[in-house]
Every structure is written in structure tokens, then in C-alpha cells.
């Protein structure tokens, strides 16, 4: 009896890119749907807080896609954009995320749990993708 290799061991850079892209789409779709539902039930401010958390989660996933692509290109000795540019966009995204967090908490008086829920959507989407890889 021959054993086939587990899909986790055959996980390629393309698989990682596809998984991160699916997680980004899942985060965006779930965030918009959740924001609309909570805006209808609890008010527009709570919906806006979920949307703010979703934006931060989605931009985090997008930035990780870029960082993984950059690191993989460097490991494969391919021509890449400058390290300074990648680092600058990473830091700018962190500053933008901090600004969104501060502004949404300061100006919107909805549920803080809605903001946390939006932030957790990225982790949830990544967990779904990890389970999908392990099960296949």
C-alpha cells in the first residue's frame, strides 16, 4: 500500500497566494454582510465599526500577500521592488490602521465588540483556509 503525500507538505507558493486571496475575499464579503445586518439591527454606528475592523483586517491580509510575494521573490533570486518601498508601505498600513482604530473609537459611539468582530474576520478567514488545506 502506498501512501500519498499530505497536501500540507505539497503546499506551494502559488497555493499560499491563492489561500491568502480567498481569505481576503471571504473577509471582505463577510464584513460587508455583517456590517449591513448590524447597521440594520443596532444602528449605523455599529455597522460602521464592523466595517472599520473589516477594512483593517482586509488591508492586513493584502499586505501579507505583498510581503509573502516579496520574500518569495527574494528567496528565488528574482528581481523585486526595493526593500525600502515594501517596508514603507507596511509601516504606512500600520499607521493607517491605527488612525482608523483611533478615529472610529473616538467618533463612532457604537459597540466596541463590533469593531473587534471586524478585526477578527481576517483571522477567521485564515482559519477556514487552513482547515481547507488540512482536509484536502
In a domain, 79, yes or no: yes
In a domain, 68, yes or no: yes
In a domain, 1, yes or no: no
pLDDT of residue 1: 43
- Neighbouring CB atoms inside 10 A of 61's CB total 23
Mean pLDDT per segment of 10 residues, for the chain of length 136 residues?
59 84 95 95 94 95 88 80 82 92 90 92 93 84
In a domain, 81, yes or no: yes
In a domain, 18, yes or no: yes
In a domain, 4, yes or no: no
Using alpha carbons, list the distances in angstroms from residue 129 to 7, 8, 62, 95, 119.
13, 12, 15, 27, 17
- Give the count of domains, the chain: 1
The model carries a pTM of 0.84
pLDDT of residue 28: 96
C-alpha cell, 56 = 483593517
In a domain, 5, yes or no: no
C-alpha cell, 50 = 464592523
- Neighbouring CB atoms inside 10 A of 25's CB total 13
In a domain, 51, yes or no: yes
Calculate the dihedral angle through the C-alpha atoms of 57, 81, 76, 23, rounding to the nearest 10 degrees: 20
Amino acid at each position: 500500500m502506498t501512501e500519498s503525500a499530505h497536501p500540507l507538505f505539497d503546499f506551494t507558493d502559488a497555493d499560499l497566494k491563492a489561500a491568502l486571496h480567498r481569505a481576503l475575499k471571504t473577509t471582505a464579503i463577510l464584513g460587508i454582510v455583517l456590517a449591513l445586518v448590524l447597521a440594520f439591527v443596532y444602528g449605523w454606528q455599529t455597522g460602521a465599526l464592523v466595517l472599520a475592523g473589516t477594512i483593517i483586517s482586509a488591508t492586513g491580509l493584502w499586505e501579507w500577500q505583498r510581503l509573502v510575494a516579496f520574500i518569495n521573490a527574494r528567496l528565488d533570486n528574482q528581481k523585486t521592488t526595493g526593500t525600502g518601498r515594501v517596508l514603507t508601505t507596511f509601516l504606512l498600513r500600520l499607521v493607517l490602521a491605527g488612525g482608523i482604530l483611533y478615529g472610529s473609537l473616538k467618533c463612532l459611539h457604537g459597540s466596541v465588540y463590533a469593531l473587534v468582530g471586524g478585526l477578527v474576520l481576517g483571522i477567521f478567514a485564515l482559519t477556514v483556509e487552513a482547515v481547507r488545506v488540512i482536509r484536502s
